[in-house]
């Protein structure tokens, strides 16, 4: 297995387990491609769940509901993602819309968490 956030309580939170898979460049069948994508999707779910918990923390910490949507922070996050995307080999045409959608859904989650805990 490759170590790259937790799949169980005995794995440190800074580590994510990714199932064994064939490297994309070495794939010779669609079965291998799909196994690789499925393994990465499971790892991404774990990372996104952790990101969601940070949104829960933000909802708990922010002083008011008006602080939930922060356009300057959104643009900062997108800029940081785009700066990291190119060296990682991720197309900006994928990275930017994916993160903007992720941020939009995380803000909606944070509003709901804020209202649930303070409403």
Q: How confident is the model at residue 80 (pLDDT cuts 50, 70, 90)?
A: very high
Residues 104, 53 share a domain: no
In the predicted structure, residue 7 carries a pLDDT above the cut 60: no
Average pLDDT for the chain: 90
pLDDT of residue 118: 83
Same domain for 72 and 104?
yes
Q: Which long-range contacts (CB under 8 A, 24 or more apart) does 14-18 make?
A: 16/43, 16/46, 16/47, 17/43, 18/42, 18/43
Whether 43 and 76 share a structural domain: no
Q: Which domain holds residue 97?
A: 63-119
Span 14-52, pLDDT tens digits: 678 889 999 999 999 999 999 999 999 999 999 999 999
Residue 6 DSSP SS3 = coil
Q: Are the CB atoms for 19 and 1 separated by under 8 Å?
A: yes
Domain end marker among 41, 61, 81: 61
Asked whether residue 43 falls in the same domain as residue 98, the answer is: no
Angle at 17 between CA 11 and CA 22, to 5 degrees: 160
Residues 52, 107: Cα–Cα separation, whole Å: 10
| Whether residue 53 is found in the same domain as residue 81 | no
Do 55 and 41 share a domain, yes or no? yes
Look up the pTM and report it.
0.84
Domains in the chain: how many in total?
A: 2
DSSP 8-state secondary structure symbol assigned to residue 18: E
Please report the pLDDT score of residue 82 as a whole number: 98
On whether both 24 and 57 belong to a single domain, the answer is: yes
Q: Are residues 69 and 15 in the same domain?
A: no
33-40: long-range contacts (C-beta < 8 A, 24 or more apart)? none
Contact yes or no for 6/13 (Cβ under 8 A): yes
What is the reported pLDDT for 11?
Answer: 54
């Amino acid at each position: 297995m490759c170590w790259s956030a937790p799949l169980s309580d005995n794995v440190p939170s800074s580590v994510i387990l990714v199932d064994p898979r064939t490297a994309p460049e070495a794939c010779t069948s669609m079965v291998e491609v799909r196994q690789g994508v499925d393994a990465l999707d499971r790892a991404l779910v774990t990372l996104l769940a952790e990101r969601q918990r940070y949104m829960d923390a933000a909802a708990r910490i922010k002083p008011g509901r008006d602080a939930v949507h922060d356009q300057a922070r959104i643009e900062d996050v997108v800029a940081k993602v785009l700066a990291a995307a190119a060296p990682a080999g991720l197309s900006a045409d994928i990275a930017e819309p994916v993160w903007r959608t992720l941020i939009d859904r995380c803000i909606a989650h944070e509003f709901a968490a804020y209202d649930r805990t303070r409403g």
